[in-house]
Amino acid sequence: MPVSCSRQKPKPELDRHKSQHQAAGRQSLILTIRCLRLTRLTRLGLLLLGAFVLTAEGDFVSPYGLSDFTLTNSGFADGYAATPDNGHSVVLTGPNDGSGFPGYTQLTVISHGDGPFQFTWVYSSLDVPNADSAGYLLNGHLYTLATADGQSGTVSIPVHHGDVIGFRIDSVDNIGEPGVLTISTSPLPHRPKFRQRRLWPSSYWRWRSQAQG
């Protein structure tokens, strides 16, 4: 006797459960994608924040803001310093008072810690080479960096807390055009911050004095 086989139609209830399961899977996938995107955005934000913090540390900010430096002009000098970009760099302009006598302008500050004194510099001048020169200072010693227009470079030297560091521009005659030194810095030395030790309560000291007495 032949047996007839017929396909059994899925029940509506099974179709509903299957649809719900597929929908839940899609929602889970969407949620996972959103979490990944949020994680990437968070990492990007932290990287940008870190870059901003490093940039801020490298600027001329307290205790190395321009106002913390001391500007000194020799007897025949009229140089000055300015920050055209709110502390990101400092432009030191050398003497050019027309006197015909040599002079210098220097900008100094006291180091607030141990570490590298590191900076990038660019020198410019419309005067003839060697009429003006620029350099950096360490405890009163002048180290010449440039004597002609267009020179540039990076300097990194170790300094200690209390050292006097800075920059200087000299002119042999105070005429022609001044030398101009533009400086941008890496993070300058700071004193390490020590944790304050927890003090014993006053009751302990009273007990100790009584025990010793």
In a shared domain, residues 167 and 81: yes
Is the residue at 2 inside a domain?
A: no
Residue 90 in any domain: the answer is: yes
Query: Mean pLDDT, to the nearest integer, of 11-32?
Result: 60
Residue 57 has pLDDT above 80, yes or no: no
In a domain, 121, yes or no: yes
What CATH number does residue 157 fall under? 2.60.120
139 shares a domain with 39 = no
Same domain for 71 and 24, yes or no, is no
**Residue 60 covered by a domain:** no
What are 175's two structure tokens?
């005429």
Q: Is the pLDDT of residue 183 over 90?
A: yes
Residue 73 structural domain:
66-185
User: Could you tell me if 75 and 34 lie in one domain?
Assistant: no
Q: How confident is the model at residue 104 (pLDDT cuts 50, 70, 90)?
A: very high
DSSP symbols for 83-99: -TTTTS-EEEE----S-
88 and 178 both lie in a single domain: yes
Contacts with 53 (C-beta within 8 Å, 6 or more apart), sequence order: none
pLDDT for res 187? 67
Q: Are residues 116 and 148 in the same domain?
A: yes
Q: Is residue 17 part of a domain?
A: yes
Percentage of the chain exceeding pLDDT 90: 54
The pLDDT of residue 61 is 85
Mean pLDDT of 193-197: 45
Q: How many domains does the chain have?
A: 2
Amino acid code (one letter) for 59: D
**Residue 179 structure tokens:** 């030398």
Residue 203 is assigned to a structural domain of this protein = no
Shared domain for 47 and 143, answered yes or no, is no
Q: Cβ of 133: how many Cβ atoms within 10 Å?
A: 23
pLDDT tens per residue, range 130-180: 999 999 999 999 999 999 999 999 999 999 999 999 999 999 999 999 999
Element (DSSP H or E) covering residue 208: helix 202-212
Tell me the C-alpha distance between 141 and 110, whole Å.
14
If asked whether residues 16 and 76 sit together in one domain, one would say no
Residue 54: the pLDDT is 38
Instruction: State whether 89 and 148 are in the same domain.
Output: yes
Is 164 found in the same domain as 140?
Answer: yes
What residue has token string 């432009």? 91
Q: Could you tell me if 42 and 78 lie in one domain?
A: no
Same domain, 46 and 82: no
Task: Give SS3 for 149.
Answer: coil
Mean pLDDT of the chain: 79
